[in-house]
């Protein structure tokens, strides 16, 4: 079993296409997506169609819930930025149509997958205790433990914070898979990546001031080999169109 795990596509279909093309060359058996699928990027419908064609297993993220349930008429924007976001949300709803919005509303907050070694993997946008509250790379162990809940599974695949990391806390392997559509990067463009396998944990963080639209997407391969979990977090370069 070789899993391709991604999150936070945010309607950037070209970035998703680049990730899938890279993954197809390397091979994978299942695509897992930790939410925030279609908003606010430029191609929400194409993003949804690509995920459907790939038979992706998706859980619901914050923006997915907002697209499906937010009553825009009751929201009073406090800035031009918020007004623009609400306008874009309304446009995205129109582009997706009622059928897809209904499917977004029905997405489960978590997905559990049994592993070949008898363990269990949980896919969630934020955290097992609160699917909408992300686990970030800079949290303390105590803060992370508070978000694992009573039944977190052996491996947690999550997104939400847009910064990938791989960390062991309280006997639980937590793998944040970063972002496909809104991956941050330092101003210098230096992004550290590590391959972690056959050892308890390895943490990956970025250093330096953070900027967005950095020209890359995050993706993570997860594979069980001879009873050991191998994790490879990769950078996929993007062209101008992405």
Q: What is the pLDDT of residues 12-53, one digit of tens each?
A: 999 999 999 999 999 999 999 999 999 999 999 999 999 999
Q: What local confidence, expressed as pLDDT, does residue 201 receive?
A: 32
Is a pLDDT exceeding 50 seen at residue 197? Answer: no
Is a pLDDT exceeding 90 seen at residue 207? Answer: no
Q: Is the peptide bond before 40 cis (omega within 30 degrees of 0)?
A: yes
Cα–Cα distances in angstroms (integers) from residue 48 to residues 4, 64, 215, in the given order: 17, 11, 21
Q: What local confidence, expressed as pLDDT, does residue 199 receive?
A: 33
Q: What local confidence, expressed as pLDDT, does residue 162 receive?
A: 96
Strands 2-6, 30-33: pairing is: parallel
Taking alpha carbons only, the member of 164, 174, 161, 166 closest to residue 216 is 164
Q: What local confidence, expressed as pLDDT, does residue 240 receive?
A: 55
**Mean pLDDT, to the nearest integer, of 102-124?**
96
**CA gap 20, 28 in Å, rounded:** 10
Contact 207/192 with Cβ under 8 angstroms?
Answer: yes
Q: What local confidence, expressed as pLDDT, does residue 203 receive?
A: 31
**For residue 210, which phi and psi values (nearest 5 degrees)?**
-95, 135
Is a pLDDT exceeding 60 seen at residue 84? Answer: yes
> How far, rounded to the nearest angstrom, does the alpha carbon of residue 166 sit from its chain's CA centroid?
14
Which residues contact residue 197 at a Cβ distance below 8 angstroms, ignoring those fewer than 6 apart? 225, 228, 229, 230, 231, 232
End-to-end CA distance of the chain: 29
DSSP bridge partners of 230? 197, 223
Q: What is the DSSP letter of 112?
A: E
Is a pLDDT exceeding 70 seen at residue 206? Answer: no
* pTM of the entire predicted model: 0.88
């Amino acid at each position: 079993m070789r899993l391709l795990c991604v999150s936070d596509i945010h309607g950037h279909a070209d970035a998703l296409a680049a990730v899938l093309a890279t993954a197809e060359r390397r091979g994978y058996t299942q695509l897992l997506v930790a939410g925030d699928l279609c908003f606010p990027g430029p191609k929400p419908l194409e993003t949804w169609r690509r995920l459907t064609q790939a038979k992706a297993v998706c859980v619901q993220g914050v923006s997915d819930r907002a697209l499906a349930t937010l009553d825009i008429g009751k929201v009073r924007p406090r800035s031009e930025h918020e007004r623009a976001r609400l306008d874009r949300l309304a446009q995205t709803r129109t582009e997706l149509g009622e059928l897809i919005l209904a499917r977004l509303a029905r997405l489960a907050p978590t997905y559990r997958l049994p592993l070949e070694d008898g363990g269990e993997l949980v896919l969630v946008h934020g955290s097992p205790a609160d699917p909408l509250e992300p686990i970030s790379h800079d949290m303390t162990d105590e803060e992370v433990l508070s978000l694992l809940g009573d039944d977190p599974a052996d491996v947690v695949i999550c997104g939400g914070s847009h910064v990938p990391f791989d960390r062991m806390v309280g006997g639980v392997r937590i793998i944040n898979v970063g972002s496909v559509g809104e991956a941050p990067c330092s101003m210098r463009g230096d992004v550290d990546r590590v391959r972690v396998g056959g050892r308890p944990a390895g943490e990956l963080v970025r250093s330096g001031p953070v900027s967005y639209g950095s020209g890359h997407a995050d993706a993570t391969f997860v594979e069980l080999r001879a009873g050991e979990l191998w994790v490879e977090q990769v950078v996929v370069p993007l062209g101008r169109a992405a």
